[in-house]
Structure 1
Amino acid sequence: MILSVVLAILSPLRPYLIQISVDKYIAGHLLEGLIFISVVQLGILLLESGLRFWFLYRINWLGQNVVNDIRKEVFRKVIYQDIGYYDRTAIGTLTTRTINDIEAVNDVFSEGIISIVADVLTIIAIIIVMLITDWRLALVCLATFPALIIATYVFKESVNKSFQRVRNAVAQLNAFVQEHITGMYLVQAFAAEDREIKKFNEINKEHRNANIKGIFAYSVFFPVVEIILATSMGLLVWWGAKRMLHYEVTPGIVIAFVMYLNLLFRPLRMLADKFNVLQMGMVAGERIFTVLDSEEYLQDNGTHAPEQIKGDVRFENVQFSYKEGVPVLKGISFHIPAGKTLAVVGHTGAGKTSIISILNRLYEIQGGHIFIDDVELRDYDVYALRRHVGIVLQDVFLLSGSIYDNITLRNENIPLAKVEEVCKMLGLHEFIMRLPGNYHFNVMERGNTMSQGQRQLISFARALLYNPSILILDEATSSVDSESEQLIQHAIDTLISGRTAIVIAHRLSTIRKADQIIVLDKGVIIECGNHQSLIDEKGAYFQLYTAVEGAKEPI
C-alpha cells in the first residue's frame, strides 16, 4: 500500500518535467539545464521502474502466500469432514473449491484490491496535477469521462455475468469428468460412451458460450476505450492549439497533457476488468468459506486413549440412519466378548456394513450406546480408537504409489522388514518379489495394474500391519479368487485367534467358524446363535445356508 502511494506520486512527475524541459530549457536554448533535467527524468524513470517491479512482485508474492495458506486450511477442513459430508457433496465440486476457486482468490491480491487502489491513487494524482496545471484544458480533456464511466459499467456487468456462468460451468465440468473417470468401467461395460459424450458436450458448450460472451465484451470495450481516448486527444489538440495561438498555454503544457492522458487511460482500461476480478474473487471466497465454515465434522471430545484394548464390544439398542427419518439400524443389541468372532449375514441393504461404519465412528449413531471394554465409544479419542480397529473392505482403494506406500499408508516409521513379515504371513511376499521393483512397484492410481484379488491381499496386509485388537472383514474375500482365498484363509484363521473379529461375509467357510452369528433383516436382528444352532432352527440363516449348499456358490 505504501508503494502504491509512492508510485501514484511519481506517475505525473515525468510529464511535468517534460513540460519544464520544453517551456524553459528548449525554448530558452539552455543546453546544460536540459541535460540536467533529462538526467533527473532518467533517474525518476529508473526509480519508478524499480518500484513498480517490486510492487508487482510483492502483490503476487502476497497472493501466492495467501493461496498457499488458504489451500492448506481448505484441505485440512476437507480431510477432517464427517464421512456423511462426502455422501452429499460431489468430488468435482470439492476439487473446484480447493483448486479453481482458491486461484480466483489469488487474483484478488495480484490483480484485484491492491492494484485497484494503486490505479485509483494514480488516476487521482494525475487529475489533480492536470487541474493545477490548467484547469480549463483539464476539463476539456476529461469531457469524455462520463462516456467512459458508462462503458466501464456496462462492460463490468456483462463480464461479471459471463464469469459467473464460466465458474458454474467449470464446477460442472470438474464434477462430471471426475465422476466418469472414476466410473469408466461402468460406462464402457454398458457401451454408454456416446450418451456420456453428448452430456459432456452440453456442459462443455455452456462453458464455451460463457467464455465467448466474456470475450465479446472485451472485444467491444477496448475499442470503445480507444475511441474515447482518441476523442480526448482530439479535444486536447483542438482546444490546446486554439489557446496556444492566443498564447494562453505553452507547447510544454500540451505535450505534458498528451502524456497525462496516456497515463490516465492506461489504468482506466484495466480498472473495470480488475473490478470483475475482485468481484469473482469475492464469489470464490464465499464458496471457499462455505467449506471452511462447515461444521459437518466429527465432534471428537473423547479423551480415553489406551495403548492397548481387549476388544470387548457391546451394542445396546443402537439406532442409526444416514438420512433423517430413514432408519437403517433399529434397536440393534449384541455382545462380542474379547477375542471372539461375530459373523453378520443378511440380504443387501439389511444394515451389515452400517454396523462397522459406526463402530469406528465414521458415522455417529442417533440413539443407544456402543461400548468397547465397557467404555462408551464417544469417550474414546477417535484417532486412538481407530488405531485399534483394522478394516478390510470389499471395495479396495489403493493410492498412487508403491506397494510399500499403500501397505504402510506412507508411514515412514514402519520398516520394510515389518511389511515383508506381514506379507509372508499372507503368502503375498513371493508375488510381490516377482514384480519389477518388488515392494517399490508402482501400483498406479486405484491399483489399476493389479488384479482385484491382488488389491484385496494388499488391503488385507494394510489392515494386519497395525496389529489391531479388533479386526473387521467386510466381505473381504468376496472378490478374491479361490487360489487367493486359500492364501489368506490360513492368515485369517491365525489372526482372528485371540482377537475380536467382526466378519461380514458371503462365503460360509468363514461364517461357520464364528463364535456367534447374527442375521439382519431391514435393520433388525432376526436370529442370533452359532452355526449349528441356527441350522437347527431352520429359519432365515438355514434358508441362506441351503441356498449356498444347493447352488455351490457364495450367497
Structure 2
Amino acid sequence: MAASSGNAFDFKLFRRLLEYTQVYKWTFYFVAIAAILLSFFAVLRPYLLQVTIDESIVPQDNDQLLFYISLMAGVLFLEVIFQFCFIYFANWLGQEVIRDLRVNLFEHMLQFKMKYFDNSAVGRLVTRAVSDIETIASIFSQGLFMIISDLLKMLVVLGFMVYQSWRLTLLVLLVLPFILYATRVFQKKMKLAFEEVRTQVANLNTFVQERITGMKIVQLFTREEKEYEKFKEINDKHRKGWIKTVWYNSIFFPIAEMSTSITIGLIVWYGGLRVMAGSEAITLGVIVAFIELSQMLFRPLRQIADKFNTLQMGMVAANRVFGVLDTKSSIADEGTLEIDHLKGDIAFENIHFGYVDKEEVLKGISFKANAGETVAIVGATGAGKSTIINLLNRSYEIWDGTIYVDGIDSRDITLKSLRSQIAIVLQDVFLFADTIMNNITLNHPEITRESVIQAAKDIGVHEFISSLPGGYDYNVKERGVMLSSGQRQLIAFLRAYVSDPSILVLDEATSSVDSYSEQLIQKATDKITQGRTSIVIAHRLATVKKADKILVMDAGKIVEMGNHQELLQKENGYYKKLYEVQFMQEEETL
C-alpha cells in the first residue's frame, strides 16, 4: 500500500478507488470530456491574441481588431461555461463516491467482532470514517481531474508551441527538465510528510476523544496538568508534521517561479533579436503568445505539484480507509437457520476461550439451562462470568467446544436471528444522545409507542419516565448523562422487555444503584424473567436466592452448581464462603 511503500504514487490503490466511480460513469466521462475541451480552449486564447497583434494591432486594422476581440470574448464565454461544468460535476462525483465509500466502511465496521474494537482506538476509527473519507473527496474535486486537465493542457500547449516556433520551444524546454526534476522530488517528500500528518491527526483525535469522554476521571484525580502536557506534546508532533509540508512548499514554489521568469527572459531576448533581424517566423505576436504559452506550460506544473499534494493526501487517506475495509475481523456468519422464536434451552459443552492468545479465560465450561429457568452466575471478579454472556450471543468466537440453543449448534443459526432472540441488560448501560423512546425501541419499526408505554406500566417504570420533562420524548444527551445510573438501568430493562426475547441476560444489572431504583429494578426483573430463560450475573442476594440454578465460578471453571439451599449445605463450599463474606451482612440489613 501507498502508506508504507514510500513510492510517489500507488496505481493499484488508485484503480481500486476508481472502481467506486463505475456507478457514475457517465458523469465521469462528461468531466473527462470537459477537461479535454478546456485544454483546447486554453491554447485558443493565446493563439487569438497572437493573431490579433500580428493582423490587427501591428497593421492598425480597427475592423479586424473588433472582430478578434469579439471572437476572444466568445471563446472566453464558452471556457467559463465548461469550467463551471467541470468544477461542479467533479465535486459532485467526489461527494457521491465518498458517500458510498463511507456507507461501505460503516457497514463493514458494524460486522466487526468485539475483539477488533477492544484493540482499536475509537478516535482512530472516527478519523477513518469522517476526516479521512472527506479527504478522499478532494482526489476528485481538486486532484484527479485537475491533474488530467493540466496534463492535457500542457501537451496541447507544447504541441502548439512546436508548431509555431521550434526554436523558441527549445528555449522553453531547456528549463523544463529542471522543473520536472524538482517537481518529482517535491512529490516524494510531500507524500511522506502527508503520511506523517494523517498519523498525527489520528493520534490527536484519539487523545481528545478519550480525554473528553473520561473528563470526570481526569478532574477527580487532578490529572488536568499532566493531560495538558501530554496534549501539548501530541499537538506539537502534529504541528511538526505540517511544518514539514510548509518547508517543502517554501523551497519548491520559489524555484518554480524563478524558472518561469528565466524562461520568459530567454523568450524575450531571443525572440526580440529575431524580430529586430526581420525574421518572418517569429513576430511580435508570436513572442507575446509564447510568453503566455510558457506560463500555461509551467503554471500547470506548479499547480500539478500542489494538486498532487492534494491527491497524495487523498491517497494516504484512501489507503487507511481501505486498510479498515480489508480487515477481516467479523464473526463467521455461516449459519443458515432463521429462527423466529426459541424455547430457551441452553447448553455449554466443554467451552474453552480467551480474549488473548494463550491466555485462557474459560477452561472447559459445561452447563445446561432449561427453558424458562433462571440461572445465576456468581464468582470473584475475573472468574469468567461475563465471558459466558459474550459467547452466548457470539460477540466472540469460542476456541473449542459447542454452544447449543434449543439443541442446535449456535453457529448453525444466523447471527441476526440468534441475537434477535437474546436481550442483554449490562451493568454499564449505554444510551444514545436521543429521546428515551428511541433509546428503548432503537428505532425498531415494529415496536410502537403504545406498546412501549404499556410495557413501562407492566414493569413499573412509566411513572418515572412520565415525571421527566417531555416524558418519553426527553433527550438523555450523550451516553444518557441526564439520567442517574439507576434510571439508565430502568431504561435498559424496558429496552430488553419490549424486544420480547426468548433469552434474557442480566449482567450485574442491579449494582451501584440507590435503594429506590433497586426496588424498581427488582420488580422489573421479576416481571421480565417470567416465562423465559434468564441468565443472571449478580451480587445481590435476592436475585441469587430465587434462581433455579446457581453456577459458582472460580478462575475460569465452574467449581459448584446447584440452587441456593443446596449450595449452602456444602461444608467448606466456595459458595457458602462467598455467601458468608459477601451476602451475610446484606441479609442482616433486609
Q: Could you tell me which residue of structure 2 aligns to residue 143 of structure 1?
A: 174
Shift, 1:309, TM fit: 1.2
CA RMSD of aligned residues (A): 1.6
Alpha-carbon distance between aligned partners in 2 of 1:396 and 1:553, rounded to the nearest angstrom = 27
Q: How does 1:266-285 map to 2 (within 5 A)?
A: 266-285=299-318
Q: Could you tell me which residue of structure 1 aligns to residue 5 of structure 2?
A: none
Q: 1:504 aligns with which of 537, 544, 564?
A: 537
* Equivalent residues of 2:376, 2:549 under 8 A apart: yes
Q: Could you tell me which residue of structure 2 aligns to residue 548 of structure 1?
A: 582
Q: Could you tell me which residue of structure 2 aligns to residue 171 of structure 1?
A: 202
Q: Could you tell me which residue of structure 2 aligns to residue 360 of structure 1?
A: 393
Q: Identity over the aligned pairs, expressed in percent?
A: 47
Where structure 2 has 5 or more consecutive residues not aligned to the other structure, the ranges are: 1-31
Alpha-carbon distance between aligned partners in 2 of 1:259 and 1:336, rounded to the nearest angstrom = 85
- 1:363-388 Cα offsets, whole Å, 9 max, x none, are 11111111111111111121111111
Q: 2:320 aligns with which of 271, 280, 287?
A: 287
Q: 2:432 aligns with which of 391, 396, 399?
A: 399
Letter in 1 for 2:149: A
Shift, 1:466, TM fit: 1.0
Three-state SS of the structure 2 residue aligned to 1:323 is coil
Alpha-carbon distance between aligned partners in 2 of 1:247 and 1:533, rounded to the nearest angstrom = 118
Alpha-carbon distance between aligned partners in 1 of 2:414 and 2:553, rounded to the nearest angstrom = 29
Q: Could you tell me which residue of structure 1 aligns to residue 570 of structure 2?
A: 537
- 1:256-283 Cα offsets, whole Å, 9 max, x none, are 1122122223212211122232233222
Moved more, 423-432 or 46-55: 423-432
Q: How does 1:322-401 map to 2 (within 5 A)?
A: 322-401=355-434
- 1:445-500 Cα offsets, whole Å, 9 max, x none, are 00111111111111111111111111110000012211111112122123222211
Pairing 1:215–2:277 present? no
Q: Could you tell me which residue of structure 2 aligns to residue 523 of structure 1?
A: 556
The alignment's TM-score, normalised by the length of structure 1, stands at: 0.97
Three-state SS of the structure 2 residue aligned to 1:349 is coil
User: Structure 1 270/553 Cα, relative in aligned 2: closer, same or farther at 3 Å?
Assistant: farther
Moved more, 73-82 or 211-220: 211-220
Three-state SS of the structure 2 residue aligned to 1:333 is strand
User: Structure 1 85/245 Cα, relative in aligned 2: closer, same or farther at 3 Å?
Assistant: same
Alpha-carbon distance between aligned partners in 1 of 2:87 and 2:437, rounded to the nearest angstrom = 45
- 1:344-377 Cα offsets, whole Å, 9 max, x none, are 0000110000101111111111111111111111
Letter in 2 for 1:423: A
* Equivalent residues of 2:194, 2:312 under 8 A apart: no
The alignment's TM-score, normalised by the length of structure 2, stands at: 0.91
Q: 2:500 aligns with which of 447, 459, 467?
A: 467
Q: Could you tell me which residue of structure 2 aligns to residue 2 of structure 1?
A: 33
Q: Could you tell me which residue of structure 1 aligns to residue 526 of structure 2?
A: 493
User: Structure 1 413/498 Cα, relative in aligned 2: closer, same or farther at 3 Å?
Assistant: closer
Three-state SS of the structure 1 residue aligned to 2:355 is strand
Moved more, 273-282 or 90-99: 273-282
Alpha-carbon distance between aligned partners in 2 of 1:3 and 1:510, rounded to the nearest angstrom = 72
- 1:159-213 Cα offsets, whole Å, 9 max, x none, are 2232121111001011111222222222222111111111111110011111122
Letter in 1 for 2:104: E
Alpha-carbon distance between aligned partners in 1 of 2:398 and 2:460, rounded to the nearest angstrom = 38
Where structure 1 has 5 or more consecutive residues not aligned to the other structure, the ranges are: none
Q: Could you tell me which residue of structure 1 aligns to residue 48 of structure 2?
A: 17
Q: How does 1:136-285 map to 2 (within 5 A)?
A: 136-248=167-279, 249-285=282-318
Alpha-carbon distance between aligned partners in 2 of 1:478 and 1:114, rounded to the nearest angstrom = 59
Three-state SS of the structure 1 residue aligned to 2:360 is strand
Alpha-carbon distance between aligned partners in 1 of 2:487 and 2:467, rounded to the nearest angstrom = 13
Q: Could you tell me which residue of structure 1 aligns to residue 92 of structure 2?
A: 61
Moved more, 21-30 or 232-241: 21-30
Pairing 1:91–2:122 present? yes
* Equivalent residues of 2:459, 2:528 under 8 A apart: no
Q: How does 1:396-475 map to 2 (within 5 A)?
A: 396-475=429-508
Alpha-carbon distance between aligned partners in 1 of 2:104 and 2:373, rounded to the nearest angstrom = 42
Moved more, 216-225 or 464-473: 216-225
Alpha-carbon distance between aligned partners in 1 of 2:202 and 2:587, rounded to the nearest angstrom = 45
Three-state SS of the structure 2 residue aligned to 1:314 is strand
Alpha-carbon distance between aligned partners in 2 of 1:494 and 1:91, rounded to the nearest angstrom = 37
Letter in 1 for 2:46: P
Shift, 1:3, TM fit: 1.7
* Equivalent residues of 2:489, 2:521 under 8 A apart: no
Moved more, 181-190 or 113-122: 181-190
Shift, 1:550, TM fit: 4.3
Q: Could you tell me which residue of structure 1 aligns to residue 342 of structure 2?
A: 309
- 1:312-364 Cα offsets, whole Å, 9 max, x none, are 11111111111221111111111111111110000011000010111111111
Shift, 1:553, TM fit: 8.2
Q: Could you tell me which residue of structure 1 aligns to residue 509 of structure 2?
A: 476
Q: How does 1:75-114 map to 2 (within 5 A)?
A: 75-114=106-145
Moved more, 467-476 or 136-145: 136-145
Pairing 1:300–2:333 present? yes
- 1:499-536 Cα offsets, whole Å, 9 max, x none, are 11100000111000111101011111100111011111
Letter in 2 for 1:242: L
Three-state SS of the structure 2 residue aligned to 1:99 is helix
Moved more, 444-453 or 486-495: 486-495
Three-state SS of the structure 1 residue aligned to 2:222 is coil
Alpha-carbon distance between aligned partners in 1 of 2:126 and 2:293, rounded to the nearest angstrom = 46
Q: Could you tell me which residue of structure 1 aligns to residue 79 of structure 2?
A: 48
Letter in 2 for 1:548: Q
Three-state SS of the structure 1 residue aligned to 2:546 is coil
Moved more, 294-303 or 355-364: 294-303
Alpha-carbon distance between aligned partners in 2 of 1:430 and 1:119, rounded to the nearest angstrom = 68
Alpha-carbon distance between aligned partners in 2 of 1:551 and 1:191, rounded to the nearest angstrom = 35
- 1:192-249 Cα offsets, whole Å, 9 max, x none, are 1111111111110011111122123223322222222221111122112111110112
User: Structure 1 303/154 Cα, relative in aligned 2: closer, same or farther at 3 Å?
Assistant: closer
Alpha-carbon distance between aligned partners in 1 of 2:352 and 2:34, rounded to the nearest angstrom = 62
* Equivalent residues of 2:541, 2:583 under 8 A apart: no
User: Structure 1 549/357 Cα, relative in aligned 2: closer, same or farther at 3 Å?
Assistant: closer
Q: Could you tell me which residue of structure 1 aligns to residue 157 of structure 2?
A: 126
Alpha-carbon distance between aligned partners in 1 of 2:162 and 2:530, rounded to the nearest angstrom = 92
Three-state SS of the structure 2 residue aligned to 1:25 is helix
User: Structure 1 377/549 Cα, relative in aligned 2: closer, same or farther at 3 Å?
Assistant: closer
Letter in 2 for 1:26: I
Alpha-carbon distance between aligned partners in 2 of 1:374 and 1:250, rounded to the nearest angstrom = 94
Three-state SS of the structure 2 residue aligned to 1:326 is coil
* Equivalent residues of 2:435, 2:472 under 8 A apart: yes
Alpha-carbon distance between aligned partners in 2 of 1:399 and 1:57, rounded to the nearest angstrom = 37
Shift, 1:17, TM fit: 1.3
Count of paired positions: 554
Alpha-carbon distance between aligned partners in 1 of 2:256 and 2:357, rounded to the nearest angstrom = 57
* Equivalent residues of 2:459, 2:527 under 8 A apart: no
